[in-house]
Amino acid sequence: MSENKLKKIIVDRISLKGQITFAEYMTACLYEPETGYYTSPGRKVGTEGDFYTSITVHATFGRVIAREIEACWRSLGSPEKFTLVEAGAGHGRLACDIMDFLSEQKPDCYAATRLVLVEKEPSLAEAQASLLSEHIKKLSWLTPDELKDFKFTGVLYSNELLDAMPVHRVIMTPQGLKEIYVTTNRGDFEELTDTPSTPELEAYLVRYGIPLHPGQEAEISLAGLKWFEAVATSLQQGFILTIDYGWPKAALYAPERNIGTLLCYYKHTVEDNPYHRIGEQDITTHVNFSALIERGEELGLKTLWFGEQSRFLISSGIIEELEAIEASDMTDRDKLKLRLTIKRLIMPEGGMGDTFKVLVQSKGFVEPKLSCIRDIGI
């Protein structure tokens, strides 16, 4: 039903303009008020949803992130007021795991922390407040627009936010760069190529030195880069921690990745057709981490660490978390079960260990005391 309603909204929009960019189409599919994938009711993440994220695997993921957050706080000189911002907080599971860890294990840092949740879908604030009820006095909320003007010292982190931002799709042709648009044909969606909707697309490829070969398709996340530029500017002093699917540009735009990276998720099945199940399946693309690193450096951010999630979690304390589980009074069977669950966070090929990358950037101070930058010899 909601698919038909959303489809009609998009079809009407196309009939007014003749064609819309893929970015406009993806924005409607994911975020059209009340009918988009993220803006309509229903569980998206976890067993009953369409896909897993690391935070739905086990609280250990959040606990390891929390260890690094506490190290960020110490790196800032253990200030009395420390702002933690989660962008794209979803139902608040990661924020809850982080705050639980800090309150149990790092009370000084917890006492200083206030947590700001930012979520494009405002109705999720209720679920976040309920899940984080024990930490309610520390919570506040900002809209994505308000975040742009929010000046703060602390840490901004996100998990799988940028891969959910709309992308333009382009293709290199013998006549030069073209953009992929969406139109309709007898009531169905159809793609066509035309002159790029904005010179920013070609400028992006030139700026980041991305040579597409004839026939190669690629995604460009102008929205993701603009979001990142805004938060890099809002942060006065501290850290940005970004966890997401993605690659550096050489791998992301490699000739063998000829058709880009767009994927759709529905009830734990994956496909590449964004015109199915409109508003009922997730649409994602891989993040260009080189753009975040290079643009970040222009905006005064220092790249402290970039690499696979597995390496990040191992350096940052997952082994210590596993040791604590071993030493606990759980039954051997429960320990084994938990070890196997947690393994998914670090295993490559089918696990989340190397598909996901972590980027840690800092702004405005001298000596970061983060565990991820220690040498673990792997």
Binding footprint of ligand SAM on the chain (CB under 6 A):
38, 45, 53, 55, 87-88, 90, 118-121, 144, 159-161, 164-165, 227
d(CA 201, CA 212): 12
User: By three-state DSSP, how is residue 345 classified?
Assistant: helix
| Total Cβ atoms within 10 A of residue 115 | 24
Q: Closest approach of Cβ 188 to ligand SAM, in Å?
A: 27
For ligand SAM, give the closer residue by CB, 90 or 279.
Answer: 90
Place of tokens 């090929």: 349
Alpha helices (H) along the chain: 2-17, 22-31, 54-57, 59-75, 93-105, 107-112, 124-131, 144-148, 199-207, 222-234, 249-252, 289-298, 309-316, 318-327, 332-346
Which residues is 116 bridged to in the sheet? 85, 140
Output the smallest distance, CB 62 to ligand SAM, in A: 10
Outline where DSSP puts E strands in 214-301: 217-220, 235-247, 263-266, 269-271, 282-284, 287-288
d(CA 279, CA 122): 18
Closest CB 258 distance from ligand SAM, rounded Å: 25
> Do residues 72 and 368 touch, judged by C-beta distance below 8 A?
yes
Query: Measured from the CB of residue 255, what is the shortest distance to ligand SAM in angstroms?
Result: 29
Give the nearer residue to ligand SAM in terms of CB position, either 39 or 216: 39
User: What is the nearest approach in angstroms of ligand SAM to the Cβ of residue 52?
Assistant: 9
Choose between 155 and 161: whose C-beta lies nearer to ligand SAM: 161
What is the nearest approach in angstroms of ligand SAM to the Cβ of residue 55? 5
The rounded distance, in Å, linking the Cα atoms of 117 and 89 is 6
Q: CB of residue 170 vs ligand SAM: minimum separation in angstroms?
A: 22
Is 96 or 360 the residue whose CB approaches ligand SAM more closely? 96
If the CB atoms of residues 271 and 334 are measured against ligand SAM, the closer one turns out to be: 271
Q: At closest approach, how far in Å is the CB of 301 from ligand SAM?
A: 19
Q: Which is nearer to ligand SAM, 159 or 362 (CB)?
A: 159
- Backbone φ and ψ for 135, nearest 5 degrees, come out as -115, 15
Cβ atoms of residues 167 and 26 within 8 Å: yes
Identity of the residue numbered 363: K
Residue closest to ligand SAM, measured at CB: 88
> Closest CB to ligand SAM among 161 and 205?
161
173 in helix, strand or coil? strand
**CB nearer ligand SAM, residue 26 or residue 180:** 26
